[in-house]
Amino acid sequence: MSRAILQVMIRGRVQGVGYRAWVEYQATTSGLEGWVRNRRDGSVEALFAGTPKHVADMVALCRHGPPP
């Protein structure tokens, strides 16, 4: 089985809206490993590790963000 690892930075309105917690929940639900953290500059940084499909799906989710 192949494995993908990808580090991403998410900018925009991501702090104060539960974005980090949402990313953590989505990644855990998808069976991904890694970490996610808020950064001082207001962005969110994450590292996803898992199957290429699950990592790609998580990146797609990050582009849309949590429901309003």
How far apart, in whole angstroms, are the C-alpha atoms of residue 4 and residue 27? 14
**Residues identified as active-site:** 20, 38
How far apart, in whole angstroms, are the C-alpha atoms of residue 46 and residue 7? 6
Half-sphere exposure of 8 (CA within 13 A, CB side): 22
